[in-house]
Amino acid sequence: RARIAKLAWMRCRCPSGLVAGTAPEGGVFCNECSVIVMGGKPTHSCRTCDDDMCQRCFERGAADRVSRGQRQSQGAAALPPSTASSGGPAATRSRASVTSRPASTTVPSNTPTTLVKAKLSAAMERERERRRLLEEQRQIEEAHARSLEEARLAAIRKAIQQARDEAEDVCTFVDGALVCAEQGLAGVPACVVKGYADVATKVDFSWNPMVSLESLGPFFFLEELAVDNGELASPLKIPELPFLRVLSLNNNKLTDLHDLVRGLKKCPRLALLSLRKNPLCPDALGGIATDGEYVLYRQYLVSQIKTLEYVDSRKVTDQERRRASSRFDNAHADPVTPMADVFQAIQDWFTLNLALVSQYIVQNTRKSSGVSAT
């Protein structure tokens, strides 16, 4: 410790020497004990020599210097006056050594502090190299992933274009509107689904012998659908179309209104519904149906599908909506039990319980009379 402290005091050759202060925010490395001094802790440093020392090592060096000065003063006091006044042989040797010492003294390269610094520099260099290799590996992987994604997207675009080329014979597509009318289609062709399912918002399959709407499931963004003059029949399976607002199924073979309403509840934004010339619509009976039957039909649709604004091209009024709500909102509620049945149930309960109580009293009376006789 004395050797290290002495070396610490001899290290800095600047006129100002080591200056007391505090460590910066990132901390410093003590060149004596190889300890990292955290930010804000007291240190002694010289920025000219790039030398730092912690408070503990500085105090050790100061104590060693004071004790060394005390020993020198005690030795000088023990010498003869002539020798003490001139400084004696020790002072002469000290002055000679100071005079002969060069102005710039360097620390030997094999000191513990130098070795620690070398190890630390080597470790930091290895860490930088490792991070550089990791960054290169990450960039290579990202470039590979981008190339794979670009290849996948290119393959998808090519397949979509091929499907659209095949679908040109059966449909036309302009500004989101897909028209496949009068093509003799019993369902939606696969090339049409693959080429236009993600971009079509309006679809017209009128005048086709279609019997189902299940093949329209991939048209997720569909807003308007027309399948008029077809072969649609009940039960009709309707796919989930969350953006559908207009549905026209005129002149088909739909007979079950309740089944159709259950399917239309998968379309939460439906605003216009047209079912003219279907067996389930009273207006399709050629004037035989009365106005009351058609009104009942409209009120049922309005009460079950709350978002409807138009039914068979006629606007739903607020008065019609209120009447439909008062008529059909409680149509499926549990039946109310008549009060006569309630009173009869209460009377039966009392009769049964009175009989049980009377039987219990008779049994207890017999037992008590038997005990008394005994």
DSSP string, 303-346: HH-TT--EETTEEPPHHHHHHHHHHHTTTTSPPPPPHHHHHHHH
Q: E-strand spans in 220-311?
A: 224-226, 246-248, 272-274, 310-311
Phi, psi of 219 (to 5 degrees): -80, 70
Q: What is the DSSP letter of 253?
A: B
17 Cβ contact list (under 8 Å, min separation 6): 46
How high is the pLDDT of residue 352?
80
Amino acid letter, 263: G
Contact 170, 180 (CB under 8 A): yes
Contact 237, 263 (CB under 8 A): yes
Cα–Cα distance for residue pair 367/363, rounded to 1 Å: 6
Q: What is the DSSP letter of 216?
A: G
How high is the pLDDT of residue 89?
47
Please report the sign of the dihedral spanned by the C-alpha atoms of residue 118, residue 122, residue 123, residue 127.
positive
| 10-residue averages of pLDDT along the chain (374 residues) | 48 65 79 79 79 82 54 51 46 43 47 78 90 94 94 92 89 91 88 90 92 89 93 90 94 90 92 91 59 84 91 90 81 58 80 79 72 48
How high is the pLDDT of residue 35?
78
pLDDT, tens digit, 9 for 90 and up, residues 288-323: 556 678 888 888 999 989 999 999 888 999 998 888
How high is the pLDDT of residue 13?
53
